Amino acid sequence: MALPDLNLLVTLDVLLSEGSVAGAARRLRLSPSAMSRALARLRETTGDPLLVRAGRGLVPTPRALELRARVGPLVQDAEAILRPAETLDLTRLERTFTLRNREGFVETFGPALIARVAAEAPGVRLRFVPKPNKDSTPLRDGSIDLETGVIGKDMGPEVRAQALFRDRFVGVARKGHPLCKGRITPARFAAARHVLVARRDIGTDRIDEALGPLGLERQIMTVVGSFSEALALAHATDLVACVPERYTGNLRDGLASFRLPVPVPEITVSLLWHPRLDADLAHRWLRGCVWEVCGDRSGRRRSKSPTA
How high is the pLDDT of residue 2?
64
Residue 54 — φ and ψ, nearest 5°? -140, 95
Architecture of domain 169-265: 3-Layer(aba) Sandwich (3.40)
Query: Are 36 and 30 in contact, with CB atoms under 8 Å apart?
Result: no
The H or E element spanning position 273 is strand 267-273
Confidence bin at 1 (pLDDT 50/70/90): low
Contacts for 74 with CB less than 8 Å, ≥ 6 apart: 9, 13
For the segment 55-63, the average pLDDT, to the nearest whole number, is 85
CA 53 to chain centre: 58
CATH entry, 90-167+268-294, from 3.40.50.300, 3.40.190.10, 3.40.50.720, 3.30.420.40: 3.40.190.10
Pairwise CA distance, residues 166 & 18, whole Å: 62
| R_g of the chain, CA atoms, integer Å | 31
* H/E element, 282: helix 281-294
Report the alpha-carbon distance of residue 24 to residue 159 in Å, rounded.
Answer: 45
Q: Poorest-confidence range of 35-44, 111-120, 201-210?
A: 201-210
Q: Looking at residue 297, what is its pLDDT?
A: 56
Helix or strand holding residue 240 (H, E): strand 240-244
pLDDT confidence of residue 73 = 83
Does the structural domain 7-82 have CATH classification 1.10.10.10?
yes
What is the end-to-end Cα distance of the chain in Å, rounded?
52
Which residues are within 8 A (CB) of 292 and not within 5 positions of it... i.e. 6 or more apart? Answer: 116
Is 7-82's fold the same as 90-167+268-294's? no
Predicted confidence at residue 20, as pLDDT, reads: 86
- Summarize the confidence of residues 225-233 as an average pLDDT: 93
Q: Where are the domains of the chain?
A: 7-82, 90-167+268-294, 169-265
Q: Answer yes or no: is pLDDT of 214 > 60.
A: yes
CA distance 219 to 270: 31
Q: What percentage of the chain's residues is helix, strand, coil (to nearest 5)?
A: 40, 20, 35
